[in-house]
């Protein structure tokens, strides 16, 4: 794909830069957090009023999720409020929140639904396990919404990768509680135990859950035969509604399809197209295990198609789709161009576009539609003379036009 | 005794120490369970509630306990109860940072909104029900919190002006509260509550002071008036005798009402609801009063009058009164002597009974006054007055005469001493032949024991009059004349020369008649002058002046042994009949 990409660039010449463009690119001011650590995974909330990101502390010891208010409006870039830690570390630990010392480690945030009172969010957070004694740290899933904050899970093994479905009724997460990594659903309105195991493969772990846009199907990566395959659970909601685990177990396999059957390569980080027809995912080729290629598979016929080679997967989640499902935004792994951002259309006949963001070492793309405009959020180091301190990446927002 | 007191004090002290130790031990165990996480929260609640039961007073103020039980309640989704403890600790100035953190957690992280029940009036025994509105649903945490809230509301709760705050999971609900204050019994509201919200439900928004009422108790009635609070356009007034059931007395726009059927002698509770233009309850206030108490005091007396009537003055005191009945009880027989009610009802008066008929023995009579309320099982007040009517006079024991210048003063004694007659006839012993005595006067007073008069003759130094007294009833003398000893001495005035009618000496009169069988004496009355004579013959002198221009009746009556009189003859006398010769 890398070759294909280069070839396309050569063939298309100046046309390569036609189509999708980054009209305006600005860094978002993060105030006192700037320069304190590595920022990853910025995402606007569905209601556009908030933004989260993760900050790996400079000492590398802890990571924290921060949330900032966003005043979009018509201004560009959006006005960002002072970021606040999702779990205030200085707060008195009321109910075993917090990691070593007084500081909680939080990661892998996921936006849930928004109500008229605000936005819900889930994230993996460490908590003290006083009941188990000692200082063993593990992650549990913390749910926050206006006026609400509680752990959805409490288990000695890690729970992480929370992902809400569209309605917000189900949250799927990956958990080590089964001993090998499995996906579980937290059903907010369930009777009885709200935690429902969804995957039951004995010999492998299931990770990277991704909900379909309609909130019913679930894509994930399952370890099968030494490699990681992309699976699709067609009706995960229905499965999660089954109270009896035995019944659920018996139906889970029938509901699950391998979308990369027979592949010797390892897949990771699937992502549904907004129209729900395709799943984009990354692949580590067997013969190039350190390389990541971008694939797309039609969930109807299940034949994966290579779309780009040598791209850089985001820190969390899967590839970044264009809102109209016409293509994906990817970060090209290019030492020469310092990891530029491309828009790769699905239609091979169309040109892919290099977004001139003026930034370097881009990553963690996410996109939000605001009216007529697309806002591409990503992390990068500033380019040229503007960014004197290039050690730490910043959050940038680009206004995209087609 | 001292040893016993010391023993008791020792027992009490040891007991207190034991309670304190038990309390501390249970709190420590509760904290231990709390530390072990959610799985042990129910155990924490159990032991901490046990600690509270062991020493409720300490539990109400103890920070360590308050924090521990709040922690346990929160972990078991009993948010309302946790909030109660935490709020009390903070407002009492006893909370610490942990208290504050838990309170913050409750209000901002549990997903619960607050419904603050406010009441200006103290609420006793409030219960409630809460159910999800149709189409609304709760997540699992909300369901647990709602379940615990339902249990909390099913128990009666009391609170004052501080109110009661319910922590309700985010959602839409129908909430119904029993309102012990409210005669209507319940209050329902549909509400949508969001996490972090604080809604206020006013049970009683305003509690007008009792001073705002005008209460005038009366007889079976209570007149009520009340201040019209701002915005109030209509009122409902309820009455209760037991503070549990209420009866609607009045619904209208006037700020006054008279309860004309108020029960007597028991506390009456009136509750007033003031409503706004849309029928919304603005305020409830309550007043306790009584209808006027029934009459509790009355007085009655009885006096025997000189005419042998009995005066019975009576009066009843303040209080409710419907009728007054006075019974006369004599010889075991009761008869109504007075019965007044309605428009004739007065609170005092004098009953005049009799005259009594004297007998030979004492006659006890009792007058019993009963003050009644209609429909009552018994009289509200009852008093009696008894009087003993003495027997009639059996005899006159002695007559004493005294002279003071020209006035003669006579006193007498009777047997029995206090015996009575209707009146007394006083005779002076006659100075004419055959005349025993001449009536000088009558005293018509049963109690009389004296008589004064001025004789028509001028009394000389040597002149002596003797008298006798005949008590009588009607036309009957009570004393037999032959037993009369008062005239034992003959007058020392010599019997003057007798003149006969027609002898030219006008107007002298000599009169004789046939003897009346059985007569002991004769009573001869002329010109109002009565004489008692023994024989059936009498002479009158100096009639001329008496008869000039006047007509007189002369009567002769035979006095019989039983004291009764029988007419013998009657003559009309005038000058024509006895012309001057």
The string of pLDDT tens digits covering residues A307-327 is 999 999 999 989 999 999 999
| CATH of segment(s) B210-290 | 2.60.40.10
* Spatial distance between the Cα atoms of B427 and B437, rounded to a whole number of angstroms: 5
User: Higher-confidence residue: A313 or B482?
Assistant: A313
Contact B425, B444 (CB under 8 A): no
The string of pLDDT tens digits covering residues B118-163 is 876 667 788 999 999 988 888 888 999 999 999 999 999 988 777 8
* CB-based contact A131 B36, cutoff 8 Å: yes
Nearest residue on chain A to B104, judged by CA atoms? A94
Of A95, A130, A189, the CB nearest to B139: A189
Give ipTM to 2 decimals.
Answer: 0.78
Residues from chain A contacting residue B110 (CB–CB below 8 Å): 147-150
Query: Would you state the pLDDT for residue B326?
Result: 96
* Spatial distance between the Cα atoms of B150 and B170, rounded to a whole number of angstroms: 15
Extract the tokens encoding A125: 């957070």
- How far does A193 lie from chain B, in Å, by closest CA? 8
Probe site for chain B from A94, A132, A169 (most B CB atoms < 10 A): A94
Q: Any bridge partners for residue A159, and if so which?
A: A175
Query: SS3 of B330, please?
Result: strand
The string of pLDDT tens digits covering residues A351-388 is 889 999 989 899 999 999 888 789 999 999 875 555 55
* CB-based contact B98 A188, cutoff 8 Å: no
> What φ, ψ does residue B368 adopt, rounded to 5°?
-120, 120
Which sequence spans correspond to the domains of chain B?
21-110, 210-290, 300-389, 395-483, 509-573
CA-based R_g, chain A, Å:
21
Nearest residue on chain B to A194, judged by CA atoms? B140
Give residue B103's pLDDT band: very low, low, confident or very high (50, 70, 90): very high
Of B36, B102, B197, the CB nearest to A94: B102
Query: SS3 of B541, please?
Result: coil
Report the residue count for chain B: 581
Residues from chain B contacting residue A190 (CB–CB below 8 Å): 140
- Burial of residue B12 (number of CB atoms within 10 Å: 0-12, 13-18, 19+): exposed
Extract the tokens encoding A20: 């999708």
* Spatial distance between the Cα atoms of B187 and B199, rounded to a whole number of angstroms: 15
* CB-based contact A147 B111, cutoff 8 Å: yes
* CB-based contact B101 A91, cutoff 8 Å: yes
The string of pLDDT tens digits covering residues B560-574 is 888 888 888 887 776
Fold matches, B21-110 and B395-483: no
Query: Would you state the pLDDT for residue B499?
Result: 32
DSSP A307-372: EESSB---SSS--EE-TTSSEEEEEB--TTTTS-EEEEESSTTSPPEEE--SEEEEEEEEEEEETT
C-alpha neighbours within 13 Å on the C-beta side of residue A215 = 11
* CB-based contact A131 B35, cutoff 8 Å: yes
Of B97, B140, B170, the CB nearest to A147: B170
- Burial of residue A346 (number of CB atoms within 10 Å: 0-12, 13-18, 19+): middle
Asked if residue B171 has pLDDT above 70, the reply is: yes
- With b for 16 or more beta-carbon neighbours within 10 A and e for fewer, the A368-389 pattern comes to beeeeebbbbbbbbbbeeebee
Asked if residue B397 has pLDDT above 70, the reply is: yes
* Lowest mean pLDDT, pick from A379-388, B353-362, B513-522: A379-388
Provide the percentage of residues in chain A whose pLDDT is more than 90.
Answer: 52
Residues from chain B contacting residue A117 (CB–CB below 8 Å): 194-196
Query: Would you state the pLDDT for residue B563?
Result: 80
The string of pLDDT tens digits covering residues B403-416 is 777 788 888 988 88
Domain B395-483 has CATH 2.60.40.10: yes
Angle among Cα B342, B343, B345 to the nearest 5 degrees reads: 70
Asked if residue A90 has pLDDT above 80, the reply is: no
Provide the percentage of residues in chain B whose pLDDT is more than 70.
Answer: 83
Put simply, whether A117 touches B (Cβ < 8 Å) is yes
Q: Any bridge partners for residue B325, and if so which?
A: B339, B370
Put simply, whether A94 touches B (Cβ < 8 Å) is yes
Domain B509-573 has CATH 2.60.40.1510: no
Extract the tokens encoding B66: 């308050």
Of A145, A147, A194, the CB nearest to B113: A147
Of A130, A145, A191, the CB nearest to B37: A130
- Note the Cα A149 to chain centre separation in Å: 22
- How far does A144 lie from chain B, in Å, by closest CA? 8
Instruction: Compute the mean pLDDT over every residue in chain B, rounded to the nearest whole number.
Output: 82
* Spatial distance between the Cα atoms of B467 and B408, rounded to a whole number of angstroms: 10
Give residue A174's pLDDT band: very low, low, confident or very high (50, 70, 90): very high
Asked if residue B176 has pLDDT above 80, the reply is: yes
Of A147, A154, A191, the CB nearest to B194: A147
CA nearest neighbour of B316 among B358, B348, B276: B348
Query: Would you state the pLDDT for residue B80?
Result: 96
Put simply, whether A92 touches B (Cβ < 8 Å) is yes
Domain B21-110 has CATH 1.25.40: yes
DSSP A71-82: E-TT-SSPEEPP
Domain B300-389 has CATH 2.60.40: yes
Count of CB atoms situated within 10 Å of the CB of A361: 16
* Spatial distance between the Cα atoms of A38 and A29, rounded to a whole number of angstroms: 14
- Burial of residue A112 (number of CB atoms within 10 Å: 0-12, 13-18, 19+): buried
Provide the percentage of residues in chain A whose pLDDT is more than 70.
Answer: 85
Asked if residue B483 has pLDDT above 60, the reply is: no
Distances (CA, A) of B400 to B1, B173, B468: 79, 108, 9
Put simply, whether A131 touches B (Cβ < 8 Å) is yes
CA nearest neighbour of B437 among B351, B499, B368, B521: B521
* CB-based contact B137 A189, cutoff 8 Å: yes
Nearest residue on chain B to A168, judged by CA atoms? B139
The string of pLDDT tens digits covering residues A101-136 is 456 788 999 999 988 888 999 999 887 543 334 455
* Torsion of Cα atoms, B249 then B252 then B253 then B259, to 10°: -20
* Lowest mean pLDDT, pick from A34-48, B338-352, B473-487: B473-487
Contact B287, B210 (CB under 8 A): yes
In this prediction, residues B473-478 reach a mean pLDDT of 84
Instruction: Compute the mean pLDDT over every residue in chain A, rounded to the nearest whole number.
Output: 84
Contact B473, B458 (CB under 8 A): no
> What φ, ψ does residue B573 adopt, rounded to 5°?
-110, 135
- Burial of residue B56 (number of CB atoms within 10 Å: 0-12, 13-18, 19+): exposed
Of B101, B139, B141, the CB nearest to A94: B101
* CB-based contact A147 B36, cutoff 8 Å: no
Extract the tokens encoding A250: 């018996």
């Amino acid at each position: 794909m890398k070759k294909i990409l280069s070839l396309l660039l050569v063939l298309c010449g100046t046309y390569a830069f036609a189509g999708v463009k980054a009209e305006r690119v600005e860094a978002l001011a993060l105030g006192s957090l700037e320069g304190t650590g590595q920022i990853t995974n910025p995402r606007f909330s569905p209601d556009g009023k908030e933004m989260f990101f993760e900050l790996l502390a400079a000492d590398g010891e802890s990571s924290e999720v921060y949330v900032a208010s966003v005043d979009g409006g018509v201004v560009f870039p959006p006005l960002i409020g002072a970021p606040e830690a999702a779990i205030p570390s200085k707060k008195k630990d009321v109910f075993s929140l917090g990691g070593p010392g007084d500081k909680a480690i939080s990661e892998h945030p996921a936006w849930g639904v928004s109500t008229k009172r605000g936005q819900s969010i889930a994230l993996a957070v460490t908590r003290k396990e006083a009941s188990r004694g000692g200082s063993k740290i593990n992650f549990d899933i913390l749910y926050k919404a206006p006026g609400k904050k509680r752990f959805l899970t409490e288990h000695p093994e890690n729970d992480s990768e929370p992902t809400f479905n569209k309605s917000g009724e189900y949250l799927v997460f990956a958990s080590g509680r089964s001993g090998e990594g499995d996906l579980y659903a937290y059903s907010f309105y369930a009777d009885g135990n709200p935690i429902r195991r969804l995957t039951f493969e004995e010999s492998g772990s299931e990770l990277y859950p991704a909900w379909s846009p309609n909130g019913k199907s679930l894509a994930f990566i399952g370890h099968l035969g030494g490699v990681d395959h992309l699976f699709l659970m067609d009706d995960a909601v229905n499965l999660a509604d089954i109270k009896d685990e035995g019944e659920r177990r018996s139906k889970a396999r029938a509901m699950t399809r391998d979308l990369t059957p027979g592949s010797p390569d390892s897949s990771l980080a699937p992502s549904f197209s907004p129209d729900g027809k395709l799943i984009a995912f990354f692949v580590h080729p067997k013969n190039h295990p350190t390389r990541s290629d971008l694939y797309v598979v039609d969930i109807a016929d299940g034949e994966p198609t290579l779309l780009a080679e040598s791209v850089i997967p985001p820190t969390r989640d899967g590839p970044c789709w264009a809102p109209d499902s016409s293509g994906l935004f990817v970060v090209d792994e290019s030492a020469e161009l310092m990891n530029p951002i491309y828009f790769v259309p699905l239609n091979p006949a169309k040109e892919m576009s290099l977004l001139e963001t003026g930034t370097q070492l881009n990553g963690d793309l996410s996109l939000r539609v605001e009216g007529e405009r697309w806002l591409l959020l990503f992390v990068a180091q500033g380019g040229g003379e503007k960014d004197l301190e290039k050690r730490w990446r910043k959050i940038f927002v680009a206004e995209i036009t087609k | 005794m001292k040893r016993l007191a010391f023993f008791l004090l020792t027992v009490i002290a040891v007991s207190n120490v034991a309670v304190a130790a038990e309390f501390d031990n249970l709190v420590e165990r509760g904290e231990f369970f709390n530390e072990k996480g959610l799985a042990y929260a129910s155990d924490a609640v159990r032991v901490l509630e046990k600690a509270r039961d062991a020493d409720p007073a300490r539990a109400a103020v103890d920070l360590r306990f308050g924090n521990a039980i709040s922690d346990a309640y929160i972990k078991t989704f009993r948010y309302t109860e946790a909030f109660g403890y935490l709020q009390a600790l903070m407002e009492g100035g006893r909370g610490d940072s942990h208290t504050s953190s838990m309170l913050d957690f409750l209000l901002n992280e549990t997903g619960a909104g607050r419904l603050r029940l406010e009441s200006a009036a103290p609420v006793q025994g409030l219960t409630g029900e809460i159910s999800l509105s149709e189409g609304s649903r709760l997540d699992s945490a909300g369901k647990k919190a709602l379940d615990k809230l339902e249990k909390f509301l099913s128990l009666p709760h009391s609170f004052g002006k501080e109110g009661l705050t319910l922590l309700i999971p985010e959602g839409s609900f129908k909430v119904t509260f029993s309102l012990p204050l409210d005669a209507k019994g319940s209050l329902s509201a549909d509400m949508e509550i969001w996490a972090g919200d604080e809604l206020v439900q006013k049970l009683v928004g305003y509690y007008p002071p009792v001073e705002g009422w005008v209460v005038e108790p009366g007889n079976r009635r209570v007149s009520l008036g009340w201040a019209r609070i701002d915005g109030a356009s209509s009122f409902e007034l309820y009455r209760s005798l037991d503070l549990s059931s209420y009866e609607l007395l009045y619904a209208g726009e006037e700020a006054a009402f008279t309860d004309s059927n108020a029960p007597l002698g028991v506390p009456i509770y009136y509750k007033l609801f003031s409503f706004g233009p849309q029928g919304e309850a603005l305020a409830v206030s309550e007043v306790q009063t009584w209808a006027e108490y029934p009459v509790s005091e009355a007085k009655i007396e009885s006096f025997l009058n000189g005419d042998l009537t009995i005066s019975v003055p009576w009066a009843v005191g303040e209080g409710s009164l419907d009728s007054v009945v006075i019974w006369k009880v004599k010889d075991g027989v009761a008869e109504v002597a007075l019965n007044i009610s309605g428009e004739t009802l007065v609170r005092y008066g004098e009953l005049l009974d009799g005259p009594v008929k004297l007998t030979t023995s004492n006659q006890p009579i009792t007058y019993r006054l009963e003050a009644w309320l209609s429909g009552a099982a018994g009289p509200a007040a009852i008093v009696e007055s008894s009087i003993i009517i003495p027997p009639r006079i059996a005899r006159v024991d002695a007559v004493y005469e005294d002279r003071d210048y020209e006035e003669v003063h006579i006193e007498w004694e009777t047997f029995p001493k206090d015996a009575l007659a209707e009146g007394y006839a006083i005779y002076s012993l006659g100075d004419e032949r055959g005349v025993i005595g001449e009536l000088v006067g009558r005293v018509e007073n049963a109690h009389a024991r004296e008589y004064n008069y001025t004789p028509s003759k001028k009394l000389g130094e040597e002149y002596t009059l003797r008298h006798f007294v005949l008590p009588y009833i009607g036309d009957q003398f009570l004393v037999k004349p032959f037993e009369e000893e008062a005239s034992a001495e003959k007058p020392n005035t010599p019997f003057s020369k007798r003149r006969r009618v027609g002898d030219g000496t006008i107007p002298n009169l000599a009169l004789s008649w046939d003897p009346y069988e059985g007569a002991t004496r004769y009573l001869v009355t002329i010109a109002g002058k009565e004489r008692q004579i023994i024989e059936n013959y009498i002479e009158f002198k100096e009639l001329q002046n008496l008869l000039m221009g006047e007509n007189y009746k002369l009567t002769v009556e035979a006095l019989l042994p039983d004291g009764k009189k029988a007419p013998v003859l009657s003559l009309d006398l005038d000058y024509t009949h006895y012309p001057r010769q």
